[in-house]
Each structure stands twice: as C-alpha cells, then as structure tokens.
Structure 1
Amino acid sequence: MTQRSALQAESDSHAPHRSDAVTLRAVGIGLLLVLVVNFWISTTEYVIHASRMQLSFFPLALFATFLLLVIVNGFVRRLRPNSALQSSELLTILAMGFVGAVVPTSGITGFLLGILSGVYYFATPENQWANYLHPNMPGWAVPSNENHAMTWFYEGLPEGQQAPYQAWIAPLISWIFFLLALCTLLFCIAVILRKQWVRNERLVFPLASVGATLTRASRGGFLPDALRGGLFWGGFGVGFGAISWNILNYFWPVVPKIPLQGKWVVFAKGFPRVNTRINFLTAGFAYFANLNILFSIWVFFVLFFWFENGIINRIGYVIPRKPLNFSAETEVTAWQGFGALTVLVLWNLWTARTHIRAVFARAFGKGDADDAGELLSYRFAVFGLIGSLVFVCAFFSQLGMQGKLVALLVPALIVNYLSIARIVCETGLAYMRTTLTEQYAALYTIGTSALSPSSMSGVSLTYSLVCQGKGTFMSPFMHVVRLADLIRRNRRRLVPALALVVVVGLAADFALTIFLGYRTGAFNFNAWPFSSAGRFAYDLTVTQMRSPFDTSWERLAVFCVGAAAMSLLTFLHYRLPWWPFHPIAFPIAFSWNTQLTFFSIFVVWAIKAILLKVGGVNLYRKWQPAFLGLLTGYVLAITLSFLVDAVWFPGQGHGVHNY
C-alpha cells in the first residue's frame, strides 16, 4: 500500500459513520458556536490582547470550543443517549465553524473596517491622501468622517456624545452584498471541484480528517476513542505541559521559561535567516500529511528560498520596491512564487477538465453527470458561479476601476484563493499565505501609468480582501464539502445553514467591532488592520500615483521563471515514478509562513520517516494519537493562557501563540 493510499484509508477509517442528517438543533448549536468563537477571537485581540486565536486554518478558538462541545456531548451520551448529538450533527456544527471562524478580526471584518475607516482618519497634509484619493472615494462604499464618525471610532467616544453608527450603514450594506457574492462564487467553485478533489484525486484533507476524528462516537466513556491511550496522553502532556509551565512565569518571573519561540539564525552572510521555532500546531497537523510533501517542503525551502536568495544577495541582484505585507519577503520570491501558484491552479483545472466539462454539460442540460450527492445542483453551481462573478466584476467597476484592471485583478484573486485552498487541503499546513497579493500582481502587470486615478483609488479599497493572504472563504468551503461528504441524508440543508452563518457572523462582528471602537478607541486595539493596514495600503497607492510606472517586464520575467520551474517539477512528478519531490512544495517554499514553520516541518518529517522506515504504515498509524494529543494539549493550554490573561492580565495579555 502506498503512503498516499494509506493516509487516505486512515482518513476514511476515522470518518464517522455515514448516518443521520443535518438537523435543526445542529444548525442552532452551530450558529451559537460561531457567535461564541467570533466573540472570543475579537475580544482576545481587541480587548484582552492575549494570544491571537485565528491565525491558522483551523483556528484555535474553533478547535477549543468544538473540543469542549465533543466532551460535553460525551457526558450527555452516557447519561441520556437519546439526547446526544449524532456524528452528522457534530459534522454540521464543525462545517459551520470552519466558515464562521473566517469572519472576525484579520479574517474579514478587521481588515475591511480598518481599510475603509482609515482613508479619512489618517489623512494629513503630508501624505496628500486628500488630493489623490478622497476625490475618487465612493460615498456608498466608504464611511465619511462627518460628525467625527471615524475620529471617534479610533479615539473613543467623548463623554456625553452618541455614537454616529449611521455613518457605517450604507457602506457596510454595500460590502456585505459584495461579500455574499464573493462567498457564492467561492462556494460554487468548491461544489464544482469537490468530486475531483475528494473522489478522483483523493486528497487527504488533514484538517478535516482531524476534525472528523473528534466526531466519532466512543465505544465506552465520554471521550472519543482517539483521545485515549498512553500515546495520546503523552502527546497531550508535551503540548499542555510546556505552555502551562510558562504560564507560571506570568506570576513569578524567576521561573525559567521553556524557549518555544525559537530564534532567528543566520548561517552565512547575505543568506536569509532561518527560525528554529517549534510550533506544536504545525507539527500536529503536519504529521497527517504525505511524507514526500513534507520532505519536498524543507528541501525546496533550503534550495529555492534560502540558497537561491543567498546567491542573489551575494551577487547584488535586487528588484526595487518591496511588495505589500502578506507577500513573500523579496520581490524575486514573491513573483517566482506567484508564477508557481498560477501553474498550480492551471494544472489542477487542466487535470479536472473532463469533470468540469461534464459539470457544465449537466448545467446546460446536455449531460448526465450525477450531482445528487452535491450540496448544490450542478446547474445552480454553474449559474451561481457566473452570476456571482459578474457581480464581483461589476462591484469593482463601480469602485472606479477600469475594465483592464478588473480583468487582471479578479483572475489573480481566484488564483490566490484557489491555490491556497489546494495547498491546505493537500498538505494540512496550519499556516500558509500567498506569495504575492493580487493587487500588486495586477498593478505591475499593467503599470500604474496606464491607470486612471479612480482605478488606483478603487484598487486601494480591495486591500481589505488581503486578510493575511489566506484566501478568505475558499479553504473553509473546500473543507465543508469534504465534511458534507460524510453525511448521508439531507446534506443540502447545510447550504442555508452556511448562508446564515455568513450573514449573522458578519453582522454580529461588524457590530461588535464598531461598538468596541467607540467604547475604547480602535487605535487601542493594537491590531495591525487598524493601526497600520490602511496607512500602508493608501501610502503605497499614493506613491504609485505620484511616481507612475509602466509594465514591469523584469517582474514578469521572474514570474515566468517560477511558472517554468513549477511546470518542470510537475512534469517530472507525473512522468517519473522514482522522482522524490512533490511540486506543490515549490510555491510553499517561498511563502513567508514557511520561514517560521520550516523547522517544525523538518522535525515532523524526520520523526515520520523514522516511524515508516522502522515499522511501516502500522507504526505510523499507532503514533497518530500522540500527535492528536499534541494538538489537543496545545490548544487547551493556549485556552488556559487566555483565561489567565482575562482574569489577571486584562489588556496586558501574553502572546503565547503565533505562527
């Protein structure tokens, strides 16, 4: 049995029994869970200033809350078996949680509110935003500073004044409609690609597999079977014990801390630094990924990021102007990585061409592709995709962007979103961001000298969609369609539940964030979307308007180099059975997150390689509970750290969890 098929078999064996259906109580509990998770994430970042609970693709707040629900459900099953939630109901709740946890802070609402509110508040005579940006800002999309609406949002409401909430109503309604269209677009793509990724290519979906493991009914006791045994508790002890020990240092600084954060190491002059951090979340999920992918990630990181950039630095080659935050560290790695991501998406669409052709044929009434098991009919998915795509393009046009800019920006956005989703579904990386923002890709391809002031002002607003470069809802939707595949009956009831989660989640977190802003001042959130994101995006845009440039052929050449290298690696992977490297690791090597997770991935690869060498697949499976215990212990320890900060250190919390 190959390793890939072994991992897939393990994922299937951990899947809950395919019984029951999506129920009303599951939807209600799922919505409540999402509201709790979003409130937790927002207050942690904005008020308590403890560890950020939403950095990963399986947010810690969601993991902890869902784990608590599973444990409580285990007690209920022992006391009143007929009242306990079934596996399908837990899967429904988890699917809603994956989608809902995208909404708060740096997921959607933080970036959107931070970008929209900053254009007037941070304007000064020196930065000249009033001259270059304000004349082209559409009032229906950007809240004005009339009656000090934005000033008070950032600085807090003066005593005796009423919060000017009305300034937000029209812009937020406009953006909510846009976000719903974007969600529809991404969800339709997920439905269309589900069968290809799940059935035909049999991707592992490590994040969904770990979540599904927790939903399996126990054969005895209140804990799921996977959360038992000596190996599980050993892993739990490592993850929980290390963080818990460091919590003692909060109260007694003389207690030595376990150095989990690692340090930056420079091995040679001119070569990039490498971080030695061990991230338990990365390690826990990485264990469930394919061995050759883990091997390829650290090898490609050493060869194509560390060594290549070192040689480039030593010979003095540089492309001026560093890319926007949430891109790779240098221009060369950013554009090279984006070329690889583009080929990754195009290749996956090409390999799925037969399936996609059948889907479109069924949508137009000329085929017989079976869509009975899908969350949407193929007709609805195809026409929903077309309609939402038109809406997204029209929205961008109404922001002031010219057609040629929209024609490049939207495909670049889809490439980023779809490539990140593919990487997460195939590798299980807890952290991953694109190498180049879609705005940067479009602007340097066209050249700002060919764009109008309204186009530049309009594109500056779309930086609100960067959202840490994680692809917003695309990855969660792909995990949702994978989880839904484990539910036998009435799975299409999940669609209105997801729509409810998005609408209620957006409305609730917008309201909470704006309320907290007027109460304490958004500038006191100490959150990057509010303190820096808007200023960075608008300063960059004004600089590009004041110093326009033509198409950057140098950057496009680097893009082509990355695309060519990715094409070659893909060809070798599929043509040579002995070829040890997986091409998906090539763009991963250029991501900024890989600089922080490289060492964790290397350690897990070494452990897993030894286990497979010594005892084969059986020994690998035997050790899975240890890494599930590592994940569980780490998540609960971070939760404990949050509780300690909330009680004893409110507003001065400890950022224990990071990338």
Structure 2
Amino acid sequence: MKPNQQYQKGQLFTIRYFRILPLTFVWIVLQTGLYGYIHLNGFGQFIANHLPVGSVFLLVIFAFLLNPILSRFGPTAPFNTAELTLCWVMITAAASVPGYGLMEFIFPYIAAPAYFATPENQWAELILPHLKEWLYVTNQSALNKFWVGINPYQTIPWQIWVRPVAIATIFGLSFFFSICCWAVILRRQWVERVRYTFPLVQVAANLTQADLNQKAFQPVFRNRLFIFGITFAVVVHLIRGLHQFYPFFPNIPLDYPIRQFFPNKPWLAIVTGWPLLFRLRLSVVGVTYFLLPDVTISIWFFFLFYKFQEVAISAFSIARINTQQQVMGAVLVLTVVSTWQARKHLLAVCQKTFTNPVNSALVDDKSEPLSYRSALLGMIGGFVFMGTMAVTMGMSVWMAILFILLMWILATTAAWHVSNAGCLLVNVGFTPFNFFRMIFGGRALGVRNLILLSFDRSSIPNWSSQSLMAYSIQNFRLANTHHLRSRSMKLTQWMLLAVVLSIVVTFFTTLTWIHREGAVNLTRWIFNVGPGAMRRAIDEILNPSPPNLPGILSAGTGGIIMSGLIFMRQRFLWWPFHPLGYALGVTWAPSRLWFSTLIGWAIKFLILRFGGFRALRQGQPFFLGLIIGEYFMAAVWQISALKTGVGYWGGPPS
C-alpha cells in the first residue's frame, strides 16, 4: 500500500496532500494569529482547551459547508476521512503553542527582569547577577516599546527578541518532542489494554468522519436530536451574543454569582481562591454525557469535598496547609500506580529497543505511530538535551533531573485527565516552584535554582489547558477509531511540523499585537506572571523558608487517600468514585467545570433511570449537537470581536 493511501472499513482512501495541506497550513496561521488579538485583548478563548474552539470551527466548515458542496461534483470530490483526520491532527497540535501553550508566558517572563528592576526591589543586586544575560531582554529601549507600545512610525526590534525567545522555545520544544514520544509509547497501553474512554475524541471522530455512502451529510448530522441540540445551543448563544451588543436585548444568564451570600470567614473560603462558581456551559454538559458515571460524579463531588476542607482550614486557622498539597501526593501516587500497571508494556518497549526480539507479539510496533526504538530513544534524547540546557542556564544537575521528572509526571497526569474524563481544562494544581520549596525549603534549593524555578510557566505549561501530550494521545486514538495507520500517515511528523509552524507564526503575530497596544494595556494577568515570578523569587531569597513539614504530611495524606480510592475502585464494583476527581483538586479547571458536570450527571442519571440504556444511546446525538453548537457560536462571536472589539466569554469553558 502506498504511504498516502489508507483503508477504512474496506475502502481505500488516497490522501490528496495537494488539497488538504494548503488549507491546513493556512488555518494554522490564521488560528495562531487570531489568538494574539482575541486572547491578549480578553475577547475570549479561541484555542485554549483540549478541544480547541478554532479547530472545531474549521471542521464544522468542512462537514457542513465544503464537503456538501464538493459532493455535487462527484463521489470522490469531498475530503475523505483520512484527509480530515490529518487536518485535525495538525491544527490541534498547533493549538498547543499559543493560548495557554508553549509561547503564552515566554514574552512576559523575558521582558520583566530588567524592565521592573528598581533600587527598592533589589532585583538588580539579588536576581539579575544569577540570570544568564541571554535568557532575558536587557535593552531598555526595546522593553519600553514592549510594555508601553509603539507609534505607527516606530519599528519592532525583532533582532533583540530572537535569541531569548529561541532559547526558551528550544527548551520547551525539546520537552514537547519528548512527551510526544512518550505518548507513542503509552498509546497501546491506554487505547487497547486499559481502554480509556477518550470522550473528546468522539466529537473529533464525528467531525472527521466522511460518509462512506457519499451522502452530503453523514447520518449523525441528519439525526433529528442532533439538529435539535445544535439549534438549541446556537439560539442560546445567538441571544447572549446579541445582548452583548444591545443591552436592551433579552439575555439568557449562564453564570449565577453566590459571593454575596458568603461575606465572612470561614464560609468566605467557598468563594475565594478557586471559587465555587455556578457556571453552566452546554458543551461541558454535552461532554459529561459521554463520560463514565464514576468519573462524572467524582469531578463535582471531590471539588465540593476540597472546598469544604478549605472552610475547615479557615475556621481553625491552620497554618502552612492547603488543599493543593493533597493533590501533590495524589498525583505522585497516581503516577506510581499507573506506571506499575503498565510495567509489562514498558518492559516490552525497553526490550524491543535494546534487544529487538523479532518473534515477540508483545513488542510488535508495526501499528504504532513510531517504532518503539525511535520513540524511547527520542524521549530519552529530548530529556537529556533539556537537562543539558537547564544546567547551562544555571540549574543544579540534581535539580534539573528532579525538575524534568516532575514535568514528565505533570504532563502524563494532564493527559490522563483528558483521556479519562474529557477534561476540556486541566490544571494539575501545583507548580515545580511550590513543590520543591515545600519538600526542600528555599535555603536548600539555592538562589539560582529558586530563580529558574520561579519561571515555571515560561515554556512548559503542562499543567494548563493545552498539553501536547494530551493532544498527541487523543490524535493517535482518533486514527485508531477510524482504522487509519498512524505511521504510514506520518502523524507524529506532521504534528511536530505543525507545532514548529505555529511557533514561528506566534513569534511574529504576538509580538506585533503586543507592540501595537503595549503590554500594560492588554490582559493584565498574562503579563503579571513575569513580575510575579520575580517577586516570588526575591521573597524566598530574602526570607528562605524551611521544609514545610505540615505540607509534606498533607501531601502524604493525599497520597494515602488516593491509594485508598484506587484500591476500592479495583476491588469493589459498587464503589461509586473514580480517583480522577480527587487528583483534579481545587484549581481553575474544576472551579469552572463542576456545576456543568453536575447538571450533565443528573440529566444522564434521569435518562438512564426512566429510559434505560436504549434511551441513553439514542440521546447521544443531542448532546453532540450541544457541544458543536456552542463551539461554533463561540467562534463566530470571537471572530466578530476582531471588528467590533466586543468579546464573548459565555461559550466553552471560560
């Protein structure tokens, strides 16, 4: 079979690269560039979740407009499943760069140290001597243009930004490459053996599935419940969007504030930190419908469990303990247990790499996106390169090893959340800086390690909403769903190429938008992370903290609880809770997802209770329509913000 041909259910597809690649590359450029304006100006989230709005929008255009038109010119004219899958794989991989991805925080980090250093804050004496000059921008004229903006007659000093951005990007890209290889290694374990549900892949699978009977629309899009679901979502967001422009127009509220009901301690803890938000998002309700019952109930139950712990901590004024420490222990136990469960597969991969037994079916990797040898050696090589760069930057060797290990754990955990629970948003709940400071204390870490760890979101934000590992493992599962051969399609190579293209586009477009407006006039919290990192480092340098024993005990408690949850789920079929909910913790993600998940769980429970499994299956198109309809309208309103300047935050998780 030729490399550009794929079989699906007995049909042979030819991937016509000359058609699909130009459209894909153009959309990557547009999607990446639009982020720079939409997100930095606070107009909405065009990319930032594990089912990117921009990517869904393009595939909706393919499914509902381009392919129906092309079908009039013959049965082979529309884009086929393999072509649409390749397009989806590339545009989602590219979405891991802007938004909350690789390039989001590089600019504020490298622009903050020299610009905000003053005699009062002592950064010039205590921090800058420990930072390599090639890690940040020192030219004050360039920094003034970045933070304040330029007039139409001034130019952007591109050459000054190239070196620090390139260094940070290469560092992050080496990690991206490594976790992409790690996703290849885990694919069989997660997809074929443990059989995670991959809920978000079901949306992508429907959007990339071309009708084998050469109809204009595939069957699910002709389903009455799907039409009703998508119409309902479109109407809701059409009304809400019009209200944004015309306040006299009626509104459909989806956010229900409760802060006024809890003005005093200890109940104030419910609405502070990561607050208890009553936000209804139709797409989250739709995704919830495709989740396992124990996953669904655990997401909202454990968020409430954590919030009431915070009330107790506030009531008794317990010092140096917070709920995030429990998440640290839970995540570490989860990683150990899941690695142990995959030990046979991982040992087989190592055996294939280093001894290459040709007759062992256990280590057959012909159906994998890359050979196991290439994947394992690529992952090791990427981590070694990353560690070498970290040491060159000034990090201790032992700290570099632990840092990379922790980042690997965080990326794997984020992908695990997405694969099991379809988490549109993932925030693992703690950063390397907080974790290592708790374990070792500031004095033991040393000044250089503290400073470099404080830049913990600069180029590898894998506790965020756009982890390349999560995108990678989902894309491999999508190809498997369509019975496509990932290796012959070169999915891994195309994903990495899309990432590189998105990096280049992000560099030029984001710097352009920042210089046009001035960073101080854009979304404040994004650009506060740079000065915030410096303040965090200087506080620890001036007042180094000892190891946090209460925090370590709290993390140990989290590990014990996680072990108990895993044990109960494996031993007792009646056990209602999934460990995933506890590992999510109290972060930005469950704060915004829990209420919609609760509503979705209740709807699914009622349908199952009164209609049975048949009604449950028949209802799937409606909830798929809710997801696609809300995403489509969110994209429409955010694109309209380019002209109107009126943003829209009522759509997918925001």
The worse-fitting range, judged by mean Cα deviation, of 454-463 and 203-212 is 454-463
Q: Which residue of structure 2 aligns with residue 31 of structure 1?
A: 25
Answer whether contact 2:59 2:208 (CA < 8 A) is retained.
Answer: no
Answer whether contact 1:111 1:467 (CA < 8 A) is retained.
Answer: no
The worse-fitting range, judged by mean Cα deviation, of 203-212 and 331-340 is 331-340
SS in structure 2 opposite 1:81? coil
2:270 maps to 1:259? no
Q: Which residue of structure 2 aligns with residue 529 of structure 1?
A: 526
2:504 maps to 1:504? no
Give aligned pairs, total: 628
2:350 maps to 1:360? yes
Structure 1 residue ranges without an equivalent (≥5): 1-14, 320-330
2:241 maps to 1:244? no
Letter of the aligned partner of 1:394 in structure 2? T
SS in structure 2 opposite 1:283? helix
Answer whether contact 1:102 1:108 (CA < 8 A) is retained.
Answer: yes
Mapped to 2, the partners of 1:118 and 1:24 lie a distance apart of: 43
Query: What's the C-alpha RMSD, in Å, of the aligned pairs?
Result: 2.2
Structure 1 residues 387 and 100: CA distance shift in structure 2, 3 A: same
Structure 1 residues 310 and 364: CA distance shift in structure 2, 3 A: same
Q: Which residue of structure 1 aligns with residue 478 of structure 2?
A: 483
Q: Which residue of structure 1 aligns with residue 641 of structure 2?
A: 645
Answer whether contact 2:415 2:467 (CA < 8 A) is retained.
Answer: no
Q: Which residue of structure 2 aligns with residue 636 of structure 1?
A: 632
2:106 maps to 1:140? no
Query: How far does the alpha carbon of each residue in 1:319-354 deviate from its partner, in whole angstroms, 9 at most, with x for none?
Result: 2xxxxxxxxxxx521110121111112111110000
2:53 maps to 1:51? no
Mapped to 2, the partners of 1:488 and 1:254 lie a distance apart of: 51
- The equivalences for 1:201-240 within 5 A come to 201-218=194-211, 219=213, 221-240=215-234
Q: Which of 321, 325, 330 pairs up with 1:335?
A: 325
Structure 1 residues 477 and 220: CA distance shift in structure 2, 3 A: closer
Structure 1 residues 45 and 595: CA distance shift in structure 2, 3 A: closer
Structure 1 residues 123 and 105: CA distance shift in structure 2, 3 A: farther
Structure 1 residues 621 and 281: CA distance shift in structure 2, 3 A: same
Letter of the aligned partner of 2:475 in structure 1? V
SS in structure 2 opposite 1:430? coil
Q: CA deviation at 1:152?
A: 0.7
Q: CA deviation at 1:131?
A: 1.6
Q: Which residue of structure 2 aligns with residue 198 of structure 1?
A: 191
Q: CA deviation at 1:184?
A: 1.6
Q: CA deviation at 1:316?
A: 2.4
2:285 maps to 1:286? no
Answer whether contact 1:51 1:655 (CA < 8 A) is retained.
Answer: yes
Mapped to 2, the partners of 1:18 and 1:190 lie a distance apart of: 28
Query: How far does the alpha carbon of each residue in 1:266-290 deviate from its partner, in whole angstroms, 9 at most, with x for none?
Result: 5796242332211122112111111
Q: Which residue of structure 2 aligns with residue 309 of structure 1?
A: 310
2:187 maps to 1:185? no
Q: Which residue of structure 2 aligns with residue 149 of structure 1?
A: 142
Q: Which residue of structure 1 aligns with residue 4 of structure 2?
A: none
2:54 maps to 1:61? yes
Structure 1 residues 133 and 87: CA distance shift in structure 2, 3 A: same
Mapped to 1, the partners of 2:403 and 2:507 lie a distance apart of: 26
Answer whether contact 2:429 2:585 (CA < 8 A) is retained.
Answer: no
- The equivalences for 1:438-453 within 5 A come to 438-453=432-447
Q: CA deviation at 1:297?
A: 2.1
Mapped to 1, the partners of 2:157 and 2:347 lie a distance apart of: 51
Mapped to 2, the partners of 1:163 and 1:314 lie a distance apart of: 53
Q: CA deviation at 1:538?
A: 1.1
Q: CA deviation at 1:445?
A: 1.4
Answer whether contact 1:400 1:454 (CA < 8 A) is retained.
Answer: yes
Q: Which residue of structure 2 aligns with residue 595 of structure 1?
A: 591
Q: Which residue of structure 2 aligns with residue 318 of structure 1?
A: 319
Answer whether contact 1:190 1:474 (CA < 8 A) is retained.
Answer: yes
Structure 2 residue ranges without an equivalent (≥5): 1-7
Answer whether contact 1:22 1:493 (CA < 8 A) is retained.
Answer: no
The worse-fitting range, judged by mean Cα deviation, of 124-133 and 82-91 is 124-133
Structure 1 residues 611 and 655: CA distance shift in structure 2, 3 A: closer
- The equivalences for 1:565-644 within 5 A come to 565-644=561-640
Letter of the aligned partner of 1:251 in structure 2? F
Q: Which residue of structure 2 aligns with residue 170 of structure 1?
A: 163
Q: Which residue of structure 2 aligns with residue 277 of structure 1?
A: 279
Letter of the aligned partner of 2:303 in structure 1? F
Mapped to 2, the partners of 1:222 and 1:37 lie a distance apart of: 27
Answer whether contact 1:19 1:488 (CA < 8 A) is retained.
Answer: no
2:471 maps to 1:466? no
Query: How far does the alpha carbon of each residue in 1:24-81 deviate from its partner, in whole angstroms, 9 at most, with x for none?
Result: 233443322222211222221235x422222321111221122112221232123333
Q: Which of 324, 335, 350 pairs up with 1:345?
A: 335
SS in structure 2 opposite 1:140? helix
Answer whether contact 1:105 1:111 (CA < 8 A) is retained.
Answer: no
The worse-fitting range, judged by mean Cα deviation, of 187-196 and 256-265 is 256-265
Mapped to 2, the partners of 1:612 and 1:108 lie a distance apart of: 42
Query: How far does the alpha carbon of each residue in 1:598-627 deviate from its partner, in whole angstroms, 9 at most, with x for none?
Result: 111111111111222223322111111111
Mapped to 2, the partners of 1:615 and 1:79 lie a distance apart of: 43
Mapped to 1, the partners of 2:15 and 2:560 lie a distance apart of: 46
SS in structure 2 opposite 1:214? helix
Letter of the aligned partner of 1:153 in structure 2? F
Mapped to 1, the partners of 2:233 and 2:139 lie a distance apart of: 47
SS in structure 1 opposite 2:112? helix
Answer whether contact 2:431 2:456 (CA < 8 A) is retained.
Answer: no
Runs of 4+ in 1 over 6 A off after TM superposition: 15-18
2:112 maps to 1:118? yes
Q: Which of 411, 417, 422 pairs up with 2:411?
A: 417
Q: Which residue of structure 2 aligns with residue 9 of structure 1?
A: none
Letter of the aligned partner of 1:96 in structure 2? M
Q: Which of 384, 395, 406 pairs up with 2:389?
A: 395
Q: Which residue of structure 2 aligns with residue 11 of structure 1?
A: none
Letter of the aligned partner of 2:342 in structure 1? A
Normalising by structure 1, we get a TM-score of 0.90
SS in structure 2 opposite 1:462? coil
Mapped to 2, the partners of 1:379 and 1:438 lie a distance apart of: 30
Q: CA deviation at 1:656?
A: 3.3
Answer whether contact 2:428 2:585 (CA < 8 A) is retained.
Answer: no
Mapped to 2, the partners of 1:206 and 1:611 lie a distance apart of: 19
Mapped to 1, the partners of 2:444 and 2:311 lie a distance apart of: 35
Mapped to 2, the partners of 1:16 and 1:203 lie a distance apart of: 23
SS in structure 2 opposite 1:20? strand
Answer whether contact 2:425 2:589 (CA < 8 A) is retained.
Answer: yes
Query: How far does the alpha carbon of each residue in 1:438-482 deviate from its partner, in whole angstroms, 9 at most, with x for none?
Result: 221122212110233222222233331336634631211111221
Answer whether contact 2:149 2:517 (CA < 8 A) is retained.
Answer: yes
Query: How far does the alpha carbon of each residue in 1:94-137 deviate from its partner, in whole angstroms, 9 at most, with x for none?
Result: 11122111111322212111211122222233322212221122
